[in-house]
Structure 1
Amino acid sequence: MKMIILDRDGVINQDSPEFIKSPAEWLPIPGSLEAIARLNQAGYRVVIASNQSGIARELFDMNILNAIHQKLHACAQQVGGSIDAIFFCPHAAIDNCDCRKPKSGMFEEIAKRFKISLKGVPNVGDSLRDLQAGYLSGCTPFLVLTGKGEKTFETGGLPPGTTVFADLAAMVGALLKPTPPTPPTAPPSPTPPAPPATGAPT
């Protein structure tokens, strides 16, 4: 099974310091949904892992979050894409839960649900905590410069092996780029027979 794990806000849709509190505020980043469709066409299962502490802060409730995700699904389907699952943490940092990124609880749940190892699974985020949570689970980290990505890049401290792209579309383009075939190796030249030793009978 091929899988990719994406953060939501700042990777798929525009982020906001005031949180995304309604379907009307959920606006896709140009090219992100088409990138998801390309992943689907290439055989990838697309899973979202997102902190949604707005619930704990009472900025919106589960009905609103479900409506936002219904819009996400519908917009992805309009361009031929689909999301296999959305995992989210509704807690605030003060709750000290295991599922809020940078902890790896959501990723462990993804591995359990899909019965796979996450070793080497691409994990795309725009914040350090996105990448740290996936790295703890063995994912390969990818930072995009949308959302909080530019600030994250400037701050540094990224997990080892992090690759940086302008946005999700660029990351997916590189991920799906065909590997050029290895040129055939020329067969070795035949070894010429050794000349007879001087004075040896022929």
Structure 2
Amino acid sequence: MKTISIISQKGGAGKTTLAIHLAAAGVEAGLSTLILDADPQATASQWSQWRGGSDPEVVDCASPTLLARKVQQAADLGADLVIIDTPPHADIMAREACKLADLILIPCRPQAFDLSAVETTADLVKAAGKPAFVLFMGGPQRAPATYKDARELIEGSEGVAGMGVPVAPVMLTQRAIYHHSTAQGKAANESEPEGKAAEEVAALWTWIREHVNLSTRKPTRGKRSAA
């Protein structure tokens, strides 16, 4: 089983949007996939209710002391992929999620305040010693200079130190379908399977699958519970 933790100390960075779309991609690939909703706002859990309870399963886990137990239960029940959706401004939960992760993703909008907030998250992530990447979310679709400047701020440039965390080579840009689909209990690639957002999600899923060595050739399994 692989565990992906989505961490950001800033609210509104796109953590739940990222978690939902990764989990939906995992289900589509035939993997037994679970979201652990560690955010007290329980946005992923609300999405699951709108979805009518179909996979991926979403399990509430607002207590950092229970997080490791929930991940182990998921593994014991045969889950292939667990995605931990963490709350902002929660160092204890973020640290615990980092410890449990095979891969850490830090969603970030390519804007000044968001980029500045990455530094705090990067310090938490580096202490865990796990593979981690900043992933740009919600930025303009065509703004190469914006992304170049944002990447240099995070990764550093000649003579300028970065934040010590690399930037993922894929991103989810600002597209209305990401928000419209979640309000319907779906993911963008389910609402518009031939759309540009679906292409972005597919590229992200391919990169993650290869990065954590996830097989996607398993038959879809029945639903399991880690509650």
TM-score of the superposed pair, with normalisation by structure 2: 0.41
Task: Identify the structure with the greater helix proportion.
Answer: 2
Computing the radius of gyration from Cα coordinates, the structure with the larger value is 1
Query: Which structure is richer in relative contact order (CA contacts within 8 A, separation 6 or more)?
Result: 2
TM-score of the superposed pair, with normalisation by structure 1: 0.45
